Amino acid sequence: GTAVNRVNPPIKFKILPNPSTDYAHFYFDPTSANNVKGELYDAEGKLLRTYPYLQPSITYTIDLSEYPAGTYMLRLQSANQSTVQKLVKLNK
């Protein structure tokens, strides 16, 4: 048989609100990849939190309340793609 080249869906998501104070939410587009792994890093590149097996069409919450104001990175990785988005936390 011939191998079918399947197009891998992109990782499509939004972080809202951004900048945020305590909680930010990220939402995956229904056309996004399945089983995406998320990692939250601080500005120094230290891994703060891991979000395994993220799925499309679901909203996930990032709890920033215990972290200082500053810039964070949310890195999302599927089987063969990865994307990074900046998330800014403000003082209340």
- pLDDT of 48-82, one tens digit each? 999 999 998 989 999 999 999 999 999 999 988 99
Q: Which residues contact 63 (CB under 8 A, 6 or more apart)?
A: 22, 23
- pLDDT single digits (tens) 36-51: 999 999 999 999 999 9
Does residue 17 have a cis bond before it (omega within 30 degrees)? Answer: yes
Model's pTM, two decimal places?
0.86
Residue where the block lists tokens 């979000």:
51
How far apart, in whole angstroms, are the C-alpha atoms of residue 32 and residue 49? 22
- Phi/psi-derived region of residue 28, left when phi > 0, alpha when psi is between -120 and 50, beta in every other case: beta
Confidence of residue 11 (pLDDT cuts 50, 70, 90): confident
